[in-house]
DNA sequence: CTGTTAGCGCATTCAC
DNA sequence: GTGAATGCGCTAACAG
């Protein structure tokens, strides 16, 4: 790559220092005439500051790393959009990494971001179990070196971020479903070691218990559309009898899983909500296009991302905020009474 | 940030150069004993190479910039996933920029990437009209300085990339619809200055003409779900008569627009496909969850992204490849004969 | 095979 | 207000 600041300085007949001062904000303001000359030279030569060199000379890189599980998942892509919006025109660039739910890859991503000396790292798809000691240590050392960490989802002791109160949200959601008339629930949860999944499932079960109810069953699948599809298919195959007896309500710990379950239910020739009701969690944009409309717990995903971005900019004083989702009952959970 | 290579070298009692050689691939291999000592020191101190410094000293940054219109749009997020997959474990990091369809922001994104000295830039949401002279000049200067450019969608004279043959794909799609029995078409196109949109609409119209047919109407809306929703709503309101007369088939130049149109149609109380057939373009993953299943032209989005990523790695000899979509007729275009 | 040295491009003290 | 010099952390000749 060519055209260095030195070239611009020469072209303008000034010193390197002066050129630097005019082309980038500096306390000392060069004379207007000089400034114009330098700017003209830069324009003429097509100068572009070398961000790497600047980063080296300054302290900051104006880079923030965003870790997601899968950028093609609407949950994460919506958050990603929010983050970019939150960063606005601050000139901060986003470095993206997808982990595919692989803890190893998550660590690699953080390592890579540390190498890039990103000013901040936004973790949005972390497992969140404290067992990830390696990750925790990594993050701590990043923080010790001045790195900022914003976590979306689980709180992480040493970091700020947007915590999602999954348990409470699920409790509220269960409450609404019960109020709507439902009594027979099945919980479709994700991987057992995914804190998000566990919290949502447990919150739901807690509310049931407190109301004197209990889940007909709690099943597990991968925290994905396919995982839910398979788990639901298995369940339907082995519980045909119970299903025809009553209107079950299946609580899926994420909308993406709800969509997988929905497909399994349909393939089985069952109707939603007449035969089986389905609820999700997250309120991803995709739901707008699904019929029947899917009940869920609404999370302001894009805003959450935006807040994360803004926290980064405001050099987030390790601020923590808590978001509780809002139950939204739609067609997929309309209650039907069965005649015996 | 702390812990430099120098520190590691001191700790290990070797020279800076040696430390560098063992910690990063070099032609010259230090002795095993020395290597172990250095690695141990690095591990102990928690050393992380400073990517900025490395980039400065080497030539390459191992960074690639990805420009999309909106990362929350399934079309782009799927491509983004592909790109990441294509880059695999090459250690190349992805810098993400969203333009919101604003040419200015696209230019800013490219500028930013040039400043970051990304080894390559992948343009996936470009307007593609040659009027963007500013962008073109920018890209040329980037290339002159050794930057690689991969364009997804429109070809761009000086660059390689994955070209999507929108016109031909649309022609084929129209052909299939005609074969299925459809005769009355409406084309719902996007912004007039979006080449992708124009090519798709024109290809479709070309095929109609060649078959002795012509579109009942060609309407325009923003190249988005909302844009399509509004355009379709307007159309339905002002063409009620024609609609009840026959089974129209609405070709939307993208799936996202098809989803918007679908919503407008439903709100109007019309059925798809009985009253109106709907076709999209792209085959975004979202379609899997929509009922009725939407006919479309299938594009291997994730693979396209992957190819782009691979091109970057193989230092893509400005290779160009052309992809033609495959018509996929599903429920949304089932043909119904009207009784007079 | 290992160590020394000179930049990579820029910001920034320090003199003038 | 402007210029010369130093260093950011690292790689790559170049010597030894």
Local structure of A161: helix, strand or coil: strand
Distance of alpha carbon B182 from alpha carbon B180, whole angstroms: 6
Residue A245's pLDDT is 80
Q: What is the pTM of this model?
A: 0.95
Residue B1's pLDDT is 57
CA dihedral of residues B289, B290, B294, B296 (deg, nearest 10): -50
Distance of alpha carbon A144 from alpha carbon A167, whole angstroms: 31
Report which of B148, B315, B332 is spatially closest to residue B251, judged by C-alpha positions: B332
Local structure of B323: helix, strand or coil: strand
Residue B338's pLDDT is 66
Percent helix / strand / coil, chain B, rounded to 5? 45, 15, 35
Distance of alpha carbon A284 from alpha carbon A77, whole angstroms: 10
Same fold, A1-57 and A166-298+327-333: no
Can you list the alpha helix ranges (DSSP code H) found in chain B?
5-12, 16-23, 32-45, 51-57, 74-87, 103-115, 133-144, 166-179, 195-210, 225-238, 240-245, 255-267, 301-313
Domain B1-57: what homologous superfamily? lambda repressor-like DNA-binding domains (1.10.260.40)
Distance of alpha carbon A179 from alpha carbon A290, whole angstroms: 24
Report which of B284, B276, B275 is spatially closest to residue B254, judged by C-alpha positions: B284
Residue A210's pLDDT is 97
Residue A161's pLDDT is 92
Distance of alpha carbon B113 from alpha carbon B97, whole angstroms: 9
Distance from CA of A150 to the nearest CA of B (A): 18
Question: Please, are residues A275 and A243 in contact by the beta-carbon 8 Å criterion?
Answer: yes
Q: Which chain A residues contact residue B78 at CB under 8 A?
A: 72
Distance of alpha carbon B170 from alpha carbon A61, whole angstroms: 45
CA→C1' distance for B34 and D6 (Å): 32
The ranges assigned to domains in chain B are 1-57, 166-298+327-333
Report which of A155, A138, A177 is spatially closest to residue A297, judged by C-alpha positions: A177
Phi and psi for A153 in degrees, rounded to 5? Answer: 115, -105
Strand D close residues, chain B 5-34, CB < 7 angstroms: 5-6, 16-17, 20, 23-24, 26
Whole-Å CA distances, A17 to A28, A30, A200, B52: 11, 10, 57, 21
**Closest nucleotide to A57, Cα to C1':** D8
Question: Please, are residues B88 and A105 in contact by the beta-carbon 8 Å criterion?
Answer: no
For residue A157, say whether its CB is under 7 Å from any atom of strand D.
no
The alpha carbon of residue A256 and the mean position of all alpha carbons in its chain are separated, in whole angstroms, by: 13
The alpha carbon of residue B14 and the mean position of all alpha carbons in its chain are separated, in whole angstroms, by: 48
* For helices A301-313 and A74-87, angle between their N-to-C axes, nearest 10 degrees: 40
Which tokens go with A185? 């629930």
Distance from CA of A30 to the nearest CA of B (A): 24
What parts of chain A have a pLDDT lower than 50? none
Distance from CA of B156 to the nearest CA of A (A): 21
Chain A contact probe: residue of B45, B48, B119, B137 with most A CBs at under 10 A: B48
The residues with which B172 forms a beta bridge, in sequence order, are none
Whole-Å CA distances, A257 to A139, A222, B89, B258: 30, 9, 28, 24
Question: Please, are residues B160 and B150 in contact by the beta-carbon 8 Å criterion?
Answer: yes
Lookup result for tokens 């978001």: A323
Question: Please, are residues B304 and B80 in contact by the beta-carbon 8 Å criterion?
Answer: no
pLDDT truncated to tens, each residue of chain B (340 aa)? Answer: 588 999 999 999 998 989 999 987 666 677 788 889 999 999 999 999 999 999 999 878 999 999 999 999 999 999 999 999 999 999 999 999 999 988 899 999 999 999 999 999 999 987 766 568 889 899 999 999 889 999 999 877 788 899 999 999 999 999 999 999 999 999 999 988 889 999 999 999 999 999 999 999 999 999 999 999 999 999 999 998 778 788 999 999 999 999 999 999 999 999 999 999 999 999 999 999 999 999 999 999 999 999 999 999 988 666 889 999 999 999 999 998 765 5
B197-256 residues touching A, CB cutoff 8 A: none
Pairwise CB contact (< 8 Å): A77 & B71: yes
Whole-Å CA distances, B7 to A17, A55, B13, B47: 30, 20, 10, 9
The radius of gyration of chain A's CA atoms, rounded to the nearest angstrom, is 26
Whole-Å CA distances, A295 to A273, A290, A331, B148: 10, 11, 7, 46
CA→C1' distance for B240 and C16 (Å): 83
Pairwise CB contact (< 8 Å): B72 & A74: yes
Local structure of A239: helix, strand or coil: coil
Residue B138's pLDDT is 92
CATH architecture of the domain covering A166-298+327-333: 3-Layer(aba) Sandwich (3.40)
């Amino acid at each position: 790559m060519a055209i260095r600041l030195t070239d611009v300085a020469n072209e303008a007949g000034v010193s390197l220092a002066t050129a630097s001062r005019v082309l980038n904000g500096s306390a000392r303001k060069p004379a207007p005439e000089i400034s114009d000359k330098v700017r003209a030279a830069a324009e003429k030569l097509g100068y572009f500051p070398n961000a790497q060199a600047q980063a080296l000379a300054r302290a900051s890189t104006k880079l923030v790393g965003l870790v997601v599980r899968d950028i093609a998942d609407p949950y994460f892509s919506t958050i990603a959009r929010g983050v970019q919006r939150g960063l606005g025109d601050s000139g901060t660039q986003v470095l993206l990494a997808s982990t595919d739910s692989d803890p190893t890859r998550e660590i690699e991503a953080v390592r890579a971001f540390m190498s890039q000396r990103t000013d901040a790292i936004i973790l949005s798809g972390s497992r969140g179990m404290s067992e990830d000691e390696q990750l925790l240590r990594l993050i701590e050392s990043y923080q010790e070196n001045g790195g900022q960490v914003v976590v979306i989802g689980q709180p992480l002791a040493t970091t700020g971020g947007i915590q999602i109160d999954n348990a409470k949200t699920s409790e509220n959601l269960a409450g609404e479903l019960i109020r709507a008339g439902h009594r027979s629930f099945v919980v479709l949860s994700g991987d057992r070691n995914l804190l998000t999944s566990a919290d949502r499932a447990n919150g739901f079960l807690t509310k049931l218990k407190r109301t004197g109810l209990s889940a007909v069953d709690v099943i597990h699948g991968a925290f994905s559309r396919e995982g839910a599809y398979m788990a639901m298919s298995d369940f339907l195959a082995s519980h045909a009898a119970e299903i025809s007896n009553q209107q079950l309500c299946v609580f899926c710990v994420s909308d993406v899983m709800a969509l997988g379950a929905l497909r399994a239910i349909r393939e089985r020739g069952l109707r939603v909500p007449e035969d089986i009701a389905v609820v999700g969690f997250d309120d991803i944009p995709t739901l707008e296009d699904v019929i029947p409309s899917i009940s869920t717990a609404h999370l302001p995903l894009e805003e959450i991302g935006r807040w994360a971005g803004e926290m980064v900019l405001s050099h987030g004083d390790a601020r923590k905020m808590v978001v509780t989702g809002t139950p939204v009952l739609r067609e997929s959970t309309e209650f039907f009474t069965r005649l015996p």
